[in-house]
Amino acid sequence: MMKRAVLFGIAATLVLGGVGTAWGESVSGVVKDASGTPLRGIMVTAIKDNFKKTVSVLSQADGTFTINGLSAMDYDIRARYIGLEDNTIKGITAGSSKSVTLSMKPVEDINLQRPADNLLSLLKFDSDKDKANFKMFCTYCHQVGSIGFRSPEEPVDWETMVTRMDGYGGLYKHSQETIVPRLLAAYSDEAMKSWPEYTGPEAPEDSVLAVRITEWDVGKRGKTVGPLGNDSSLYREPGGTFMHDMELGNNGLVYGVDGANDAVVEFNPVTEELIWYVMPGYATVDPKLKRSAIHSIEAGPKGNMWLTLAGSGEMGVFDITTKEFVTMSGAPAPAPRGGYPHTLRVDMNTGLIWYTDAAREVCSMNPNPPYEVTEYKTLSADQAVGGGRGEASGRTPYGLDIAPDGMIWYAKLNGNRIGRIDPNVEGGAIKEWNPPFIGPRRLQLDQDGIVWVPGWGSGVIGRFDPKTEEWIVYEMPNAINRLPYALNINRKNGDIWITGTGSDTLIKLDPKTGHFTDYRLPSRVTFMREIEIDDDGNIWTTNSNGPLRHTERGVTSFIKLEPGI
């Protein structure tokens, strides 16, 4: 069925059980400007063990803040706001009666704080169509314009890097010929001297002030289980973890997929223990073997984690109890492999595993041996409703979800369509629609069967009613520079949560009013590809920027946002 909020009560119980003991301490204080005036909406972060874990809140109208639920230990306390210099006070003991005063002064160089949606606005094109094309093919893995992006690896220059990145030939021909001069005109050291003035985003709304954000850095700690033993120095990328997607387990644990090291990462948010379970038979074990490029992860009816292995063209399952893997071809027999298995969902009623293959079609798999695969041949452009508008030659089956009535919905990112499969009819009785925007990505269905679609290229959110076949389009603020990669839906109140992949935010859309609310995240260059929502309405995601060096600390992370209302 549709992507659901996941039972996460075990972890919540453990945390509540610690209140008043090791995890029941707090740090309180006030944030002021240089003149002593209290500052509202400043992000205040308690930093544990050099960013092993951070807990962030916002200062209130009177400048005060309280960070609860800390352990009885020393933290560095940092105040952060775009337009002001960071101020960090080190060695504050949680639970002490001392009140912390953080004084903020104007930033000397605000260009170092500009988020990517503003930086992307500096890259000029002759038309919005050309810019949407650039977004569609050049923003898939990392933010554009960030410090890391502006500094290609030595001795690689811009032309070499862009030629390598456009290996799929997705850019328009005229854009291919002009993109390097455009990048230099926007992001070179000389260009930075004439950047227009930037004052930062608006102050956070009152409804955001109750937010609490926890972030755990991943990739420089933990232990390894599997063919490598417990020697993390044998990783394919020592210290580097590329965690594309994550899932919440029914056992209170969090699971991520590490495509750089052919592993599932198991994380306990209470004990903060990280364990890498490395799959045998892949390149992390022996560089001469194939890479799994493990991509997406979803829990099945028994809690075990189903996986897409994009690089090896396979599907897999990880037993959360025995910690064992089983892998199988991602294509119908006798094909040894699929093309690029991508996004998957598990039908909790039938047990079938549904997934998109970005290089082939949409597939279903029987979860039991011999893991029979059925492939559904999707439609050509002339067969889609409204077909031919904004479509590319590549289809790219991408996002996928299961409706309450059991229908299978998918998005074709480059084909610029959404489609529906009826699994009860031979051949799927497939129907497709062309949306009134560019780049439908990781769609979701709500409890009423409405299809919600992020428009990656256009910076919009689409609402499609299958009964009327009508669209409502919600344009995001600064839409042409926004990058809505994925979304999920709070089943209890209907709120739509969206990845602010290019703006270092998580974004809430109220579908009743069409109002977007930004929740700024504590780390700069936060690139998100998937959202999970637990039973308490908390939002979970990962920072999965590629390459990792672009991110503020050079690591991936798990992120939990508690809206507070």
- At 198 the pLDDT is 95
- At 13 the pLDDT is 35
- At 277 the pLDDT is 93
Copy the structure tokens of residue 182.
Answer: 């455009």
State the pLDDT confidence band at 536, using cuts at 50, 70 and 90.
very high
Considering only residues 219 and 441, tell me which one the structure prediction assigns the higher pLDDT.
Answer: 441
Considering only 18-22, 121-125, 263-267, 312-316, which range has the smallest mean pLDDT?
A: 18-22
- At 547 the pLDDT is 87
> Token pair 């937010």 is at which residue?
211
Q: Is the predicted pLDDT of residue 397 greater than 80, yes or no?
A: yes
Q: Which of 110-114, 231-235, 238-242 has the highest mean pLDDT?
A: 110-114
What are the pLDDT digits (tens) for 21-37?
A: 456 899 999 999 999 99
* CA-wise closest residue to 398 among 334, 464, 475, 345: 345
No. of helices (H) and no. of strands (E), the chain: 6, 36
Considering only residues 407 and 226, tell me which one the structure prediction assigns the higher pLDDT.
Answer: 407
Copy the structure tokens of residue 264.
Answer: 């599932």
Share of the chain above pLDDT 90, in %: 79
Please report the DSSP string for 264-320 in residue order. Answer: EEEE-TTT--EEEEEPTTSTTT-TTSPP--EEEEEE-TTSPEEEEETTTTEEEEE-T
How far is Cα 298 from Cα 375, in angstroms, rounded to an integer? 20
Copy the structure tokens of residue 176.
Answer: 């291919």
* CA-wise closest residue to 498 among 464, 542, 454: 454
Copy the structure tokens of residue 183.
Answer: 């990048």
How far is Cα 489 from Cα 448, in angstroms, rounded to an integer? 11
**Average pLDDT of the residues in 169-193:** 91
What are the φ and ψ backbone dihedral angles of 172, each rounded to 5 degrees?
-55, 150
Copy the structure tokens of residue 50.
Answer: 């050099």
Residue type, 385: V
Residue 488 and residue 497 in contact, taking contact as beta carbons nearer than 8 Å: yes
Q: Is the predicted pLDDT of residue 173 greater than 60, yes or no?
A: yes
What are the pLDDT digits (tens) for 27-77?
A: 999 999 999 999 999 999 999 999 999 999 999 999 999 999 999 999 999
Copy the structure tokens of residue 467.
Answer: 């009964």
Sheet with 314-318, strands from edge to edge, namely 294-299, 305-309, 314-318, 325-329
Name the β-bridge partners of 556.
Answer: 218
State the pLDDT confidence band at 546, using cuts at 50, 70 and 90.
confident
Q: Is the predicted pLDDT of residue 233 greater than 70, yes or no?
A: no
How far is Cα 292 from Cα 310, in angstroms, rounded to an integer? 6
- At 266 the pLDDT is 96
Q: What is the mean pLDDT of the chain?
A: 91
State the pLDDT confidence band at 232, using cuts at 50, 70 and 90.
low
State the pLDDT confidence band at 222, using cuts at 50, 70 and 90.
confident
Global confidence as pTM: 0.94
- At 22 the pLDDT is 53
- At 285 the pLDDT is 86
Residues 6+ away with beta carbon under 8 Å from 405: 449
* CA-wise closest residue to 26 among 63, 89, 70: 70
- At 223 the pLDDT is 81
Name the β-bridge partners of 487.
Answer: 498
Copy the structure tokens of residue 379.
Answer: 């439609």
**Average pLDDT of the residues in 193-201:** 94
- At 476 the pLDDT is 98
- At 384 the pLDDT is 87
φ/ψ bin of 310: left (φ > 0), alpha (ψ from -120 to 50), beta (otherwise): alpha
DSSP state of 380: -
Q: Which parts of 3-131 are beta strand (E)? A: 25-33, 43-48, 53-58, 64-70, 74-81, 84-93, 100-104
